Amino acid sequence: MAVIQFIKGINETVIADVSLTRSKDGSTGTATFRFNNPDILKSVMQEKGDITGMYLKDDEGELVTRDVSAKFVNGKPQAITSIYIIKSPQEWDRFMRFMERYANKNQLSFTKAK
C-alpha cells in the first residue's frame, strides 16, 4: 500500500509528477509533487472537508507536509503543488521507500536529470 491523501481517509487517484532535489552530501533534499486536476479539487469534494496537508501513507506509516498550494486558472482550481522537505539521510531513505511503493503501485519510472 502507498497512497497520497489531502484529506485523511480520502485517497487521491490522480498520479503526481514528482521532482526530487538532493544536496551534494546527500543529507537533505526536497520532493515537489504536482497534481493536475486532482480529485480533491472537484466540487463534490468540498463537503468532505478542508485540505490540511499532504499525507504520504504506506505500510510503514505516514509522512506529512503542510506545504500545499493550489493553482487557479480563471478563478477555478486546476492544480496542486506540494513540497516535502527531507532533513536527514534517514528521512531520505524513508521517503525513497515510500516512493518505491508508490511508483510500483502506479507504474511510474524514474528519470535522472542530465
> Within 10 Å of residue 44's Cβ, how many Cβ atoms?
7
Domain range summary for the chain, segments of one domain joined by +: 2-98
Q: What is the pLDDT of residue 63?
A: 98
Burial tier of 102 (Cβ tally within 10 Å: 0-12, 13-18, 19+): buried
* Band of pLDDT at residue 113, cut at 50, 70 and 90: low
Q: What is the pLDDT of residue 60?
A: 97
Q: Tens digit of pLDDT for each residue in 74-98?
A: 988 899 999 999 999 999 999 999 9
Q: Does the predicted model carry a pTM greater than 0.85? A: yes
> Within 10 Å of residue 55's Cβ, how many Cβ atoms?
19
User: How far apart (Å, rounded) are the C-alpha atoms in residues 79 and 102?
Assistant: 20
- The CATH homologous superfamily to which domain 2-98 belongs is Photosystem II Psb28 (2.40.30.220)
